[in-house]
Chain A
Amino acid sequence: MTSAIIREITGRGIPLPGDDIDTDRIIPGRFLRCVTFEGLEAHVFADDRQQNPDHPFNQEKYLGASLLIVGRNFGCGSSREHAPQALMRWGIRGIIGESFAEIFFANCTAIGVPCVTVSAEDARWLREVVAAHPEMELRLNLEAMTVHAGDRQLAAHMPEGARRQFLEGTWNSTFVLLEAGEAIERTAAQLPYVTGF
């Protein structure tokens, strides 16, 4: 059993200004009082949106966007998967940015939302062009590792392991890990702290 193969994501963009945007801002802690991820999309960037009426997630022109454009170190801080879940349930299918925090990147990968990096200059340009032309269709291609925006093509990057998980449809890793079978128990049996020294 595998997860869906993800080769390409097309759709409109939503540009998010700022660097070091942490997962507390993506989904504030009080919304983590829940036992499912259902409905989290309603609270994405709740406090930032409250404080800034012009926040991109408040703007009608970005409704229906599927590619989020961010800056540097996006998703730092807490490991809460609620953050990528809230974005995904809002409609985000892929994230393009200057750089990503590691746990956030892994959480996005595990739910089938690819995060790719582009140069700082390209990230800035992409945010500007999407803000000016919110109707523009963007195309993120994981085979060619490119982002198409209008008549421009940007080089995108992603660690090879994660990229292959999307292209092979193995990003939901539970079943891949289960395929190891008894090798898991054999590894455990060689660890002295498992066997009791």
Chain B
Amino acid sequence: MAETLLDKVWRLHTVRELPSGQTQLFIGLHLIHEVTSPQAFLMLRELGLKVRFPNRTFATIDHIVPTDSQARPFADWLAEQMTVALVKNCQDFGITLFDLGSGRQGIVHVIGPELGLTQPGMTIACGDSHTSTHGAFGALAFGIGTSQVRDVLATQCLAMSKPKLRRIVVEGTLPRGVYAKDVILAIIRRLGVKGGVGYAYEYAGSTIVAMTMEERMTLCNMTIEGGARIGYVNPDRTTFEYLRGRPFAPQGEAFERAVQWWQQIASDPGATYDDEVHFDAATLQPMVTWGITPGQSVGVTEPIPEPEEVPEAERAAYWEALDFMSFRPGQRLIGTPIDVAFIGSCTNSRLSDLRVAAEIVRGRKVARGVRALVVPGSEAVARAAEAEGLHEIFQDAGFEWRKPGCSMCLGMNPDRLRGREICASSSNRNFKGRQGSPTGRTLLMSPAMVAAAAIAGHVVDVREVLR
């Protein structure tokens, strides 16, 4: 019988059916960081348990690291304390840590793929909702909370219920100036921020097949913003070529054997899905959010919806969003002044993102009064970008070139909005207060759109800049 990747990977990782009716699922790769792991290690110590498979957990530090000076001890005593705890826990339990300055540190969802840890056919868990990113490789990857981090450390397993599967088919060529970020924002706008609850998403179609791995990561990254915990792309030649030669990928003949297995993992032709939706890439335009959920977005030339266009059940949230953002029904976002431009986060901080943005800022200057920063996703991304001179292009334009970390995506480190600032951001969440100021406002968009807004000082249609 034809099976989907979800069926196959779920079956291969099933340890047993639990009395509750859930599945005990083996977790092939566990990634941890400083924010959601210390309490899990504490619970483990209290229970007197060891880490069951220490070689299947890898750690890095990303959320709380400052991005200006990373000299220890950090100025923020709490951040320092969290870092000390992570280092000690990794030492005590025999877990590999990619520490600051190791050359391998970075945002957990950037380094997993670039080190070749993330591979097709795996189950991958991390105490971070954007773990869906790793689905780009044809893995079942999902975010978990701290008690579940404890479960994985203690047993390398989780108690899970198998989700339903929705196939999202995107066909056609993306217009110039429209990127993977715009595709996922358009998907979330149509299906809603809770449309994916209970589902995993399989992304398919010619647009997805033509995407690079970094584009697929951006796409899968924001799956959780649409309510689905898991989003994946079937592994193909693009996946295998990306992995070839990476430090933790199989080497030599083992790599060829791995490719054979990875090919078998992909969904079979004729497999059935619980639901299927279609998108036409040619009709998409650069997207910008106007509200306080990632589903509240419009194409950059479109007006914010009028209240009567919004389903009645969503109208209270609509007014709450407009009130918080100080926008009006029917308003167009082009021309909206920005205070801050942020290029970074696990969504859009990889080399290809920085190249696209650098191409737009090259030879131009950041508008007066705009605070602009680029935070590369990892030490490896920073090295590669600097080797190409991208940092100089950004710095010449007036951007700050920072060190890797999660930074202003969630404002756990000193990189935060101030007061009611408006930020053009390549990150993933426009929630109230998300970027570190309780009243700060976020406009989500692609890195190209952020770069163009930084130069203009207000929201622009990047297609005009590229013309």
Contact = CB atoms under 8 A, between A and B. Distances in A.
Interface stretch (A6-14, A31-39, A54-62, A141-149): A31-39
Contacts of A46: 438
B320 interface: yes
Given A73-B193, A193-B119, A196-B250, A29 B147 contact: no
Given A120-B313, A184-B26, A102 B412 contact: no
B106 interface: no
A33 B412 contact: yes
A101 B197 contact: yes
B194 A99 contact: yes
Interface string B50-66: 00110010000001100
Contact of B129 (A77, A100, A177): A77
A24 B410 contact: yes
Contact of A197 (B131, B254, B313): B254
Contacts of A173: 151, 158-159
B320 A18 contact: yes
Interface string B188-209: 0000011001100000000000
Contacts of B146: 37, 81-82, 107
Contact of B431 (A51, A73, A77, A99): A77
B198 A102 contact: yes
B94 interface: no
A22 B431 contact: yes
Contacts of A82: 146
A190 B11 CA distance: 12
A151 interface: no
B24 A180 contact: yes
Contact of A25 (B49, B410, B431): B431
Nearest to A192: B261
B200 to A, nearest CB: 11
Contact of B38 (A25, A35, A184): A35
B159 A28 contact: no
Contacts of B28: 191, 193-194
A190 B293 CA distance: 42
Contact of B159 (A36, A73, A177): A177
Interface in A53-97: 72-73, 76-82, 84
A177 B145 contact: no
A152 interface: no
A177 B155 contact: yes
Nearest to B13: A187
B96 interface: no
A79 B16 CA distance: 26
Contact of A161 (B161, B193, B317): B161
A175 to B, nearest CB: 9
Interface residues of B, number: 86
B90 interface: no
* From B131, B316, B411, B431, residue with most partner A Cβ within 10 Å: B431
B224 to A, nearest CB: 8
A29 B63 CA distance: 10
A2 B308 CA distance: 52
A46 B410 CA distance: 16
A29 B412 contact: yes
Interface string A13-53: 00001111010110011101111110000000011101100
A159 to B, nearest CB: 6
A171 B395 CA distance: 52
A106 B161 CA distance: 10
Interface in B24-42: 24, 26, 28, 35-36, 38-39, 42
A161 to B, nearest CB: 4
B198 A79 contact: no
Interface in B112-130: 119, 121-122, 127-129
B201 to A, nearest CB: 13
B438 A174 contact: no
A110 B147 contact: yes
Contacts of A24: 410, 429, 431-434
B384 interface: no
B4 interface: no
A184 B21 contact: no
Contact of B53 (A19, A80, A106, A188): A188
Contacts of B148: 106-107, 110
Contacts of A190: 12
A109 B86 CA distance: 26
B317 A18 contact: yes
Given A25-B432, A161-B22, A191-B28, A36 B157 contact: no
A132 interface: no
B313 A184 contact: no
Contacts of A81: 36, 39, 127, 145-147
Nearest to A186: B15
A153 B20 CA distance: 26
B217 interface: no
Contacts of B334: none
Interface string A177-189: 1101001100110
Q: Ordered nearest first, which 10 A-B pairs have the shortest CB separation?
A: A81-B145, A107-B145, A110-B147, A47-B438, A33-B78, A79-B143, A35-B38, A177-B155, A81-B146, A79-B129
Interface of B: 12-16, 18-22, 24, 26, 28, 35-36, 38-39, 42, 47, 49, 52-53, 56, 63-64, 76, 78-79, 81-82, 85, 119, 121-122, 127-129, 131, 142-148, 150-151, 154-159, 161, 193-194, 197-198, 224-225, 227, 229, 250, 254-255, 257-258, 261, 292-293, 313-314, 316-317, 320, 410-412, 429, 431-434, 436, 438-439
6 contacts: A28-B438, A78-B410, A161-B18, A161-B159, A184-B26, A188-B26
Given A33-B79, A35-B81, A99-B194, 12 more contacts: A20-B317, A22-B429, A24-B431, A36-B39, A79-B36, A103-B144, A106-B145, A161-B159, A177-B24, A177-B155, A187-B13, A197-B255
